[in-house]
Amino acid sequence: MPKFLLCTFFLLCFGLKAQVRPNDSIRVEQYPTDTLRAARSGAEVLADIEKSNAPADIRTFSPIKAGLYSAVLPGLGQFYNRKYWKIPIVYAAIGTGAGVIVWNNKQYRRYREAFVAELNGLPHEFSDIRGVTAEVLGNRQDQAKRQRDYTIAITAGIYILNIVDAVVDAHLYEAHRDPDLALSPSVIYDEGSKMNKAALTLNYRF
């Protein structure tokens, strides 16, 4: 009986061993995908160091050139300073002034000719209008002349302001880039009117 049990045990072990089969597979080695970069030459390293230590390329503008450009052609100084958004403002202001000058000068000449004709007893443009006298025509003539002269003065001031603006922009270009100097809008409380008002603050850090 014990021999029978022993033989049965060996047969079972042999059968289990025969059923276990190893997997037929090829082992694949896993290599890292990262590769070493090629060594850089000394000239390339030196060029990178010089580029890193080079001073920043800061563009500067000449106030003299900016002023001369604006004097020759209004708006050209602003173009030189790369303040392109100011150019339409300059031309709109000067163009409006020039148009008002031409219109007032035309009115002055109309009333001047009528005034001279009225003094000489000759017909003129306003002869058919009741109440038009030499005094009235003279007053209208003086008013048109005065408005023309005021407009010439204002337009000349705008022209000069155009030159000053270009010079100041060119001169203060570096100050605009200075992080220690800042000009920013702000709101302040007015004790007199008890209201908040818009203002500009100038901050300078030592």
CA distances to 59, 82, 93, 151 from 87, in Å: 21, 10, 10, 21
The pLDDT of residue 17 is 47
In this structure, are residues 203 and 182 in contact, taking their beta carbons and an 8 Å threshold?
yes
Reported as a pLDDT band with limits 50, 70 and 90, residue 196 is confident
Separation CA 68–CA 75 (nearest Å): 11
In this structure, are residues 137 and 118 in contact, taking their beta carbons and an 8 Å threshold?
yes
The pLDDT of residue 33 is 53
CA 84 to chain centre: 7
The pLDDT of residue 125 is 83
More confident residue, 89 or 50: 89
Please provide the size of the chain in residues: 206
* Full-model pTM: 0.56
Express each pLDDT in 66-116 by its tens digit. Answer: 999 999 999 999 999 988 999 999 999 999 999 999 999 999 999 999 999
More confident residue, 192 or 63: 63
Range list of β-strands (E), the chain = 181-190, 195-204
Separation CA 165–CA 86 (nearest Å): 10
Residue 69: CB atoms within 10 Å: 21
- Locate tokens 């050209």: which residue? 76
The pLDDT of residue 104 is 95
Of the listed ranges 24-38, 45-59, 91-105, the one predicted with least confidence = 24-38
Indicate if the pLDDT at residue 206 is higher than 60: no
Separation CA 164–CA 88 (nearest Å): 17
Indicate if the pLDDT at residue 200 is higher than 90: no
Average pLDDT of the residues in 118-128: 85
The pLDDT of residue 118 is 86
